[in-house]
Amino acid sequence: MKKIFIINAQPGGNKGAEAMLETVVRKISELKGNIFIETLDERDVYDHFIRRMDLGINKTQFRPKNLISPYDVDVSADDIVIDIGGINYHDKSVKANIRNFIRHSYFLRKRAKLVFFTQDFGPANKFITKSIVKAVYRRASAVFMRSGESKAFLENVIGRSETILGPFPDCTLLLDAAYFNDFDKLPENYFVLAPSAIMYNQYGDEYIDEFVKVTEKLCTHLTPLILVHNFTSNGATSDLIICKKLHEKILAKNIECNFLSEDRKPSELKYILKNAKFSITSRYHVLVGSMSSGTPSFAVGWNHKYKEFMSLYGLQENIVKFECGFSQKIIDMALIVIDGVDQKDKVFRINITLKEKIKYSFQQLLKHL
């Protein structure tokens, strides 16, 4: 029986990646084959995820230092590998590009069918980035793109190809919200704050201070709730550390503020987002989780994928560039929502169409495999 490897997304870290992993695994389980998910270490989060899914999933550990055989399972030409990393091969991280090349080149050497589903790309302007991209994507069996701009970036590097499909919306729109057991931890009326260590590493305390300014203006209307959505480290810091810093600064202003820092299932986090009045974030999958639940979201994004996603709703203005005073733009838009201009009906209608497109992308994926 053929093996189906799902790589580049792990549970227990980036909850958006875990949401993608859960959504794809459930769909792929319809195929006949042994499913293997990629692990990075021996943590029990993988076993916990496998038990929760209850689909007979196997594990294979990625060992990037072993360049010849980076996985501990044999691979043959009949096998399939599906990369579900949210974004691959961009100019921001040479290290990440090399790790991904170790992944992909191994399966290509073994002549396994390589599929990318569903993700963004680039921008890739550096020579080394483009060289790796050409070596990998030109040999891929299919590439399901998540945005038009990403598709254009990829085609600019490798040329147009019938293997580049889409764009299709993010597949985690299909993930349902699960009941949040600790309901007493949620305020009656609240908005979500979910900052990112990526942005903090680039802009420092000024970035966090803008979130505090937002809270000072909006706390008379709603209770702020800080939500950690990513539990992986980023340089010398992490989202957890940044969220703690934000919480301390808000409390220092004598403002009531809830703080949810537990690592929970993506569906539970989606329940929290679904019941919020709106969210303010620099995490892509907080944006996706909010909008797919009918909850308006405002984001300070670091990549083109944020504006591309919100263009699906005609709400590109909800994405704000980082600059001194960006908080006022978010405050103005949030107050419009608070004052009763409800975007939820519009978002709900669009979600129906988007989810049909995602179902079609899965049909294409299963047909392709």
Sign of CA dihedral 30, 32, 34, 39: negative
Considering only CA atoms, give the Rg of the chain. Answer: 20
pLDDT at 360 over 70: yes
β-strand partners of 14:
230
Mean pLDDT of 171-195: 87
Mean pLDDT of 67-92: 91
Question: Which tens digit of pLDDT belongs to each residue from 119-144?
Answer: 888 888 999 999 999 999 999 999 99
Mean pLDDT of 175-190: 82
pTM: 0.90
Mean residue pLDDT across the chain: 92
pLDDT at 342 over 70: no
pLDDT at 183 over 70: no
Confidence of residue 341 (pLDDT cuts 50, 70, 90): low
pLDDT at 333 over 70: yes
Residue 235: its pLDDT value, please?
81
pLDDT at 181 over 80: no
pLDDT at 250 over 90: yes
Confidence of residue 290 (pLDDT cuts 50, 70, 90): very high
Question: What would the 3-class secondary structure string for 64-113 be?
Answer: CCCCCCCECCCCCCCCEEEECCCEECCCCCHHHHHHHHHHHHHHHHCCCE
List, in order of start, the domains of the chain with CATH numbers: 3-167 (3.40.50.2000), 183-349 (3.40.50.2000)
Q: By CB neighbour count within 10 A (0-12 exposed, 13-18 middle, 19+ buried), where does 68 fall?
A: exposed
pLDDT at 108 over 70: yes
Contact 119, 89 (CB under 8 A): no
Residue 324: its pLDDT value, please?
77
Specify the long-range contacts of residues 63-68, CB closer than 8 Å, at least 24 apart: 64/99, 64/102, 64/103, 67/102
Q: Is 120 helix (H, G, I), strand (E, B) or coil?
A: strand
Confidence of residue 88 (pLDDT cuts 50, 70, 90): confident
Q: Regarding beta strands 190-194 and 279-281, do their DSSP bridges make them parallel or antiparallel, or are they unpaired?
A: parallel
Name which residue leads in pLDDT, 181 or 52: 52
- The secondary structure of the chain in percent helix, strand, coil, rounded to multiples of 5, reads 45, 15, 35
Lowest-confidence region among 95-109, 268-282, 318-332, 341-355: 341-355
Mean pLDDT of 36-61: 94
The amino acid at residue 64 is: P
Q: By CB neighbour count within 10 A (0-12 exposed, 13-18 middle, 19+ buried), where does 32 fall?
A: exposed
CB atoms within 10 A of CB 47: 14
Q: Measuring CA to CA, which residue among 209, 300, 199, 189 is closest to residue 252?
A: 209
